[in-house]
């Protein structure tokens, strides 16, 4: 945008949650493509992805708000930050556990250009990452799927797996909250015609494809548990598995340095062994043919969740919103747009 004199005018826009959801609907494959491209750009060194920053509260030990700053180069060329809260206590009130916003910054000026409601973006990029991993790391279509955790992330994971061609014919759902497990089960039956059933933890962990989508702060799956050869475990929530379980599997991460922090299961495995030999490689390494998993072992994919993925999906949504006229401009947002 320019003034009558031709000087550039700084603009700022908002993309609300309802528009984000509308733009995401039915475009799962597009989101997966954005995540794939972001992984490869990150792998090639075309990004800056600092550590996430955790704001915790002494009187709310299970709650946190996390800042994920990042820059993604390549065809995206945008910086930004996701500010996402996780308040598990909301679930008992029937409210979403997580809420988030994403700020996009113009790489040329550093100026923020948009604010996006990002709970849906965060869930979509997480699910797209999992669906991509499933198609890359599994040679066979799973006959059974076990889902541990019955929240928004689990629901979105199933949505993206279905879009990626992963069958949801036989699903076993487990959650400590029977209401959540029942809601997910009914959703899978109604939307996908799945023979979804509620079951215990053991039944879910025994499936060909296992999705871990909980809020567990520490491992609860026994240190004696071993997955069988050919099983694929999408360790989305990162802290469900004892480190001993990981040591008996091939371990694929999204980013080694990021994942081996904050007492994730892979971080615990590093502390237990004193090294990183248990890490097989990264998903981008597999995509590029630089890493291969062994057929005689299970595979565990542990994604820490990179801010560059939020930028990739957020910037794509920003462009879509601009094309469809969904951005809400905020006139006069910047107090000064000229230095003098």
Q: Which domains does the chain have, with CATH numbers?
A: 13-121+307-329 (3.30.1780.10), 131-302 (3.40.50.720)
CA–CA distance, 188 with 197 (Å, rounded to integer): 9
- % of the chain with per-residue pLDDT over 90: 89
Q: Give yes or no for residue 161 having a pLDDT over 80.
A: yes
Residue 193, class by beta-carbon neighbours within 10 Å (0-12 exposed, 13-18 middle, 19+ buried)? exposed
CA–CA distance, 237 with 244 (Å, rounded to integer): 17
CB 267: neighbour CB atoms within 10 A? 18
C-beta of residue 78 within 8 angstroms of C-beta of residue 72? yes
* The pLDDT of residue 5: 44
* The pLDDT of residue 141: 87
Task: Give Cα separations from 12 to 24, 54, 179, 192, 322 (angstroms).
Answer: 22, 27, 41, 40, 12
- % of the chain with per-residue pLDDT over 70: 97
* The pLDDT of residue 2: 40
Structure tokens at 57: 């509260």
pLDDT in tens, 43-97: 999 999 999 999 999 999 989 999 999 999 999 999 999 999 999 899 888 888 8
pLDDT in tens, 90-131: 988 888 889 999 999 999 999 999 999 999 999 999 999 999
Who's near 9: CB < 8 A, 6+ residues apart? 1, 2, 3, 337
* The pLDDT of residue 239: 96
CA–CA distance, 160 with 252 (Å, rounded to integer): 20
Average pLDDT score over the chain: 94
CA–CA distance, 65 with 67 (Å, rounded to integer): 7
Task: List % helix, strand, coil for the chain (3-state, nearest 5).
Answer: 35, 25, 40
What pTM was estimated for this model as a whole?
0.93
The angle at the Cα of 284, spanning 164 to 137, to the nearest 5 degrees, equals: 45
């Amino acid at each position: 945008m320019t003034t009558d004199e031709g000087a550039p005018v700084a603009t700022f826009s908002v993309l609300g949650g309802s528009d984000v959801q509308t733009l995401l609907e039915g475009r799962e494959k597009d989101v997966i493509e954005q995540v794939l491209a972001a992984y490869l750009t990150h792998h090639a060194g075309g990004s800056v992805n600092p550590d996430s920053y955790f704001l915790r509260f002494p009187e709310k030990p299970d709650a946190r708000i996390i800042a994920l700053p990042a820059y993604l180069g390549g065809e995206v060329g945008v910086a930004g930050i996701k500010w996402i809260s996780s308040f598990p206590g909301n679930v008992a009130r029937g409210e979403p556990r997580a809420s988030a916003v994403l700020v996009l910054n113009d790489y040329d000026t550093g100026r923020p250009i948009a604010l996006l409601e990002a709970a849906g973006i965060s869930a979509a990029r997480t699910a797209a990452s999992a669906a991509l991993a499933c198609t890359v790391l599994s040679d066979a279509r799973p006959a059974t799927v076990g889902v541990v955790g019955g929240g928004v992330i689990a629901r979105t994971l199933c949505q993206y797996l279905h879009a990626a061609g992963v069958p949801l014919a036989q699903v076993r759902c487990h959650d400590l909250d029977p209401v959540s497990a029942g809601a997910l089960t009914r959703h899978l039956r109604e939307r996908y015609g799945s023979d979804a059933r509620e079951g215990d933890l053991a039944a879910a962990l025994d499936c060909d494809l296992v999705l871990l989508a909980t809020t567990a702060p520490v491992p609860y799956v026994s240190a004696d548990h071993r997955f069988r050869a050919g099983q694929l475990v999408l360790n989305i929530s990162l802290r469900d598995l004892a480190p001993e379980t990981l040591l008996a599997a091939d371990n694929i991460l999204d980013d080694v340095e990021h994942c081996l922090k904050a007492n994730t299961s892979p971080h615990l495995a590093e502390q237990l062994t004193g090294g990183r030999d248990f890490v097989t490689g990264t998903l981008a390494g597999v995509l590029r043919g630089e890493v291969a998993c062994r057929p005689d072992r299970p595979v565990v994919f542990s994604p820490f969740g990179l801010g560059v993925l939020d930028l990739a999906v957020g910037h794509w949504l920003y462009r879509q919103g601009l094309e469809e006229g969904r951005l809400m401009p905020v006139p006069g947002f910047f107090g000064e747009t000229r230095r003098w």
